Copies of this chain bind each other. A is one copy, B any other.
Amino acid sequence: MKYAIGVDFGTESGRAVLVEVATGREVATAVYPYLNGVIDEALPETGRPLPPDWALQDPDDYLRTFQTAIPRVLSDAGVTADDVIGLGIDFTACTMLPVRADGTPLCRLDSWRRQPHAWVKLWKHHAAQPEADRINRIARETGQTWLDRYGGKISSEWFFSKALQILDEAPEVYAAADRLIEAADWAVWQLTGVETRNTCTAGYKAMWSKREGFPPRAYFEALHPAFADVVDDKMSRDIRPVGERAGGLTAQAAAWTGLRPGTAVAIANVDAHVAVPAATVTDVGRMVMIMGTSICHMVLGREEHIVPGMCGCVEDGILPPFFGYEAGQSCVGDHFAWFVENCVPGRLAQEAAAQGVDLHTLLEQKAGALAPGESGLLALDWWNGNRSVLVDVDLSGVLVGATLATRPEEIYRALIEATAFGTRVIVETFQSHGVPIYELVACGGLPEKNRLLMQIFSDVTGLPIRVSASKQTPALGSAMFGAVAAGAAAGGYATVYEAAQGMARLKDQAFLPDAQRHAVYNDLYADYLRLHDHFGRGGDDVLKRLRRRRAEARAQAEPVHA
Contacts and interface: CB of A to CB of B under 8 A. Distances in A.
Interface stretch (A31-39, A275-283, A397-405): A397-405
Contacts of A224: none
Contacts of A344: 345-346
A401 B546 contact: yes
Contact of A376 (B346, B407, B523, B546): B546
A406 to B, nearest CB: 7
A552 interface: yes
A540 B530 contact: yes
A338 to B, nearest CB: 5
Interface in A369-383: 370-378, 383
A404 to B, nearest CB: 5
Nearest to A346: B346
A553 interface: yes
Nearest to A376: B550
A331 interface: yes
Contacts of A531: 540, 542
Chain B CB within 10 Å — which of A396, A404, A531 has the most?
A404
Contacts of A546: 373, 376-378, 400-401, 527
B374 A404 contact: no
A547 interface: yes
Given A396-B401, A402-B398, A376 B547 contact: yes
Interface in A324-338: 331, 334-335, 338
A342 interface: yes
Contacts of A341: 345
Given A338-B404, A342-B345, A534-B534, A374 B550 contact: yes
A337 to B, nearest CB: 8
A349 interface: yes
B554 A542 contact: no
A562 interface: no
A342 B396 CA distance: 22
A403 B542 CA distance: 14
A552 B399 CA distance: 21
Given A384-B404, A401-B396, A542 B557 contact: no
A399 B402 contact: yes
Interface in A347-391: 349-350, 370-378, 383-384
Interface string A533-557: 0110000101101110110111011
A511 B272 CA distance: 56
A372 B553 contact: yes
Contacts of A399: 398-400, 402
Interface in A97-129: none
A408 interface: yes
A375 B349 CA distance: 26
A523 to B, nearest CB: 7
A408 B334 CA distance: 16
Contact of A549 (B335, B376, B400): B376
A389 to B, nearest CB: 20
Contacts of A218: none
A399 B550 CA distance: 15
B398 A403 contact: no
A223 interface: no
A89 to B, nearest CB: 30
B553 A373 contact: yes
5 closest A-B pairs by beta carbon, nearest first, are A346-B346, A397-B402, A376-B550, A373-B549, A374-B553
Given A338-B404, A342-B406, A520-B549, 12 more contacts: A338-B406, A343-B408, A345-B346, A371-B557, A376-B549, A378-B546, A397-B400, A397-B401, A398-B400, A398-B401, A520-B553, A524-B549
12 contacts: A342-B406, A345-B349, A373-B546, A374-B554, A376-B550, A384-B403, A384-B404, A396-B401, A397-B403, A398-B399, A520-B553, A534-B534
